[in-house]
Chain A
Amino acid sequence: MNRSKKIPALFSEQSALGELSPERERELDPALLAEQKAAIESSNREILQSHPSAPMAAAIRLRAEQRKHSAVAGKRILVWASAASVAVLCLIAWALWSPMLAPVVEETALLRTPETVRMKGSAQLIIHRQTAGGAEVLLPGAVVRPGDRLQLSYLARGAGHGIILSLDGRGQVSLHFPKNPTASTALAQEGEQNLPFSYQLDDAPGFERFVLVTAEKAIPVAGVLAKARALGADERIPLNLPVGCRQVDFLLQKADAPKATPAIKWRPKP
């Protein structure tokens, strides 16, 4: 044995996976390695039991999709910003070097009001969790617990209409926006819009999946709810939406309920 007795975690992990080279494995203390591998196997069982592979893989795939989408949106904004910068520079040069053109500048698209030149992106669902000191923004795939109080918000970003619903690990579907299936689905356009209620999570197992559906025209809420209910307790299947609708998913992992926690279903904050 050539190395000191302590075995780096990387090597014991690789040995447990059968991915450590035989040469390196021969340098390790066999008794200590066996002990560490037994601990790893026990830990593996505990982790996969607490965080099962199917919902975790779904959360990872969803997060990857959303990151990809954000990156594309970011590139679009960059292209717009670059184009706008070039155009502004051209306008400045134009205005400086051509005394005849100053009045025309007021008519260019770049100087129109935001209402006439609006950069459209994707609508976004934002979820905050109440903490002792305030609130924290949750990322897709974050772990939530029964009793956590969540506040939902959205950014319309040009989408005219929308509905927000959630599905849980028991296949229960809840409508969050609009307040009832017959209310208007029109989205407010000014910045981040908080829904009027916060919600406390119940003890449904596995996941809480929030879905923002957007469209240019009014959305048939009852029809979308029926399609959501038909999905059952599967967090991966996309909704079969009417033509012209877009779907934004936000999946949260659900940790096991503490035994003392009472079961509370989605309940509006008084």
Chain B
Amino acid sequence: MGDSIDVEEMYRRYGPMVLRRCRRLLGDEEQALDAMQDTFVRLIRYQQRLTAQAPSSLLYRMATHVCLNRIRSRKRAPATANTELLERIATDEGVEERSLSRTILDRLFGREPVSTRMIAVLHWHDGLTLAETAAEVGLSVSGVRKRLRKLQAASLGEAQ
């Protein structure tokens, strides 16, 4: 990639994918549009991370990161809190680890570092297998499994 990306071309190719991702995570059209733009702003800022092949993976993770931060901000501001997304995540069809309670997700979105939240969303919400999640975030399967177990154990421990 050169020094300056062609924003219009990148939006035309990847914008719809990013917007669908933001819509799915945020559940609100205007917030999703706003998050989609923020994702491309991050892309401009961190364009040196782009490689010649498959920018979709990077953009998908960036969009997830932007949305998770927004969800966390909403939790920090009770006046605008919207728990609809978390409820939907907790009841999403096909999600593995059915024992994951909303309490865990609350903690997950509110406190955990982004990397762990990203792993949890990819695996629990998006339905990627452990191996696919590991490949997506660049960790080993055992590393991903360890983080998820630790998160689950800590959250359950706090819930008791």
Contacts and interface: CB of A to CB of B under 8 A. Distances in A.
A60 B41 contact: yes
Contacts, number: 94
A13 B13 contact: no
Nearest to A136: B80
Contact of B13 (A9, A17, A60, A67): A17
Contact of A143 (B33, B56, B129): B33
Contact of A17 (B17, B19, B38, B132): B17
A74 to B, nearest CB: 14
Contacts of B136: 10
A142 B30 contact: yes
A44 B132 contact: no
Contact of B11 (A17, A53, A139): A53
A258 to B, nearest CB: 14
Contacts of A14: 54, 56-57
Contact of B16 (A3, A48, A57, A139): A48
Nearest to B21: A9
Contacts of B132: 8, 24
Interface residues of B, number: 36
Contact of A47 (B16, B55, B56): B16
Nearest to A68: B45
A219 B17 CA distance: 45
Contact of A13 (B17, B38, B44): B17
Contact of A48 (B15, B24, B126): B15
A64 B24 contact: no
Interface residues of A, number: 34
Contacts of B54: 14, 19
Interface of B: 7-8, 11-17, 19-21, 24, 30, 33-34, 37-38, 40-41, 44-45, 53-57, 60, 94, 122, 126-129, 132, 136
Interface of A: 3-4, 6, 8-10, 13-14, 16-17, 19, 24, 40, 43-44, 47-48, 51, 53-54, 56-57, 59-61, 63-64, 67-68, 139, 141-143, 253
Given A4-B94, A13-B56, 19 more contacts: A6-B94, A8-B126, A9-B24, A10-B56, A13-B21, A16-B17, A17-B56, A19-B53, A19-B57, A44-B16, A47-B16, A47-B20, A48-B15, A57-B8, A67-B41, A68-B45, A141-B34, A141-B37, A143-B33
Query: What 9 A-B pairs have minimum CB-CB distances, sorted nearest first?
Result: A57-B8, A47-B16, A19-B54, A44-B16, A57-B7, A53-B12, A60-B40, A64-B44, A64-B41
